[in-house]
Amino acid sequence: MDAHASVGHAELEIPYNVHPRPDTGVYNAKLGIWLFLASEVMLFGALFSSLILLRTGADTWPRGYEMLNVPLATFNTFILIVSSVTVVMAWSQLRLGNLKWGRIYISATILCALIFLVNKAFEYGHEFREHNFPKTNNFFAIYFTMTGLHGLHIIGGVIVFLYFLGPGAKMWAHDPERYTNRIEVVGLYWHFVDLVWIFLFPVLYLM
């Protein structure tokens, strides 16, 4: 490749993938994920608002622990907290230049997510066997809607983590800082998913 072609390639690269933009102070992907998370707050916020409306407008509303499996949900809460730690540890290991341990922690995060989903499947299966469906009543309608949407976010996170564990990890060889930033960005998404569960768990299961 001649010098002219090399300069042209550099000009085509999207700027501020690694280093912060002068006007925002952060790299582009980080601002992008925060804007996305802001939209996610509104999405789940609308559902929480609906739950308040349904619950305050109902003559009777069941206590969550009388209807749902609290020990299993408590275990799932613990699993999600562990996964939040493994994500942030993966990012830290990558900042230390340790790809091997970074990938181990990413793998641990995926494992936690899969355990969460399997537990959720057991929980849903139990409810279906008890003939509790979204159409049964408002409690199960909002329960399946909110936990189902949250579960879809878990599945989305697993897909992204699998990509960064597999083909996406090739970036480490030629641009380790950008790869590290990508793990930080998916980590922010994952922490948000954990954050949603932190409020979903008591609101649906304990109140």
Contacts for 95 with CB less than 8 Å, ≥ 6 apart:
180
Shortest CA distance to 206 belongs to which of 77, 114, 81? 77
Instruction: Supply the DSSP string of 119-170, one letter for each residue.
Output: HHHHHHHHHHHTT--TTT-HHHHHHHHHHHHHHHHHHHHHHHHHHHHTGGGG
Q: Which is nearer to other proteins, 53 or 128 (CB)?
A: 53
For 63: left if phi > 0, alpha if psi spans -120 to 50, otherwise beta; the answer is beta
Distances (CA, A) of 40 to 31, 86, 181, 183, 184: 14, 23, 21, 19, 18
If one asks whether residue 83 binds other proteins (CB under 8 A), the answer comes out as no
Site string for other proteins, 44-73 (x = CB under 8 A): -xx-xx--xx--xx-----x-x----x---
160 is an interface residue for other proteins by CB under 8 A: no
Binding mask 93-122 for other proteins (x = CB under 8 A): --xxx-------------------------
- Minimum gap (Å) between residue 23 Cβ and other proteins: 8
In whole angstroms, what is the distance from residue 44 CA to residue 117 CA? Answer: 19
Here's the x/- map for other proteins, 165-184, by CB under 8 A: it reads as: -----------xx--x---x
Residue 7 interacts with other proteins (CB under 8 A): yes or no: no
Q: Which of 139, 140, 164, 192 binds other proteins (CB under 8 A)?
A: 192
Instruction: Phi first, then psi: give them for residue 22, nearest 5 degrees.
Output: -60, -35
Q: Which residues bind other proteins (CB under 8 A)?
A: 18-22, 24-26, 30-31, 34-35, 38, 41-42, 45-46, 48-49, 52-53, 56-57, 63, 65, 70, 74, 77-78, 81-82, 84-85, 87-89, 92, 95-97, 176-177, 180, 184, 187-188, 191-192, 194-195, 198-199, 201-203, 205-207
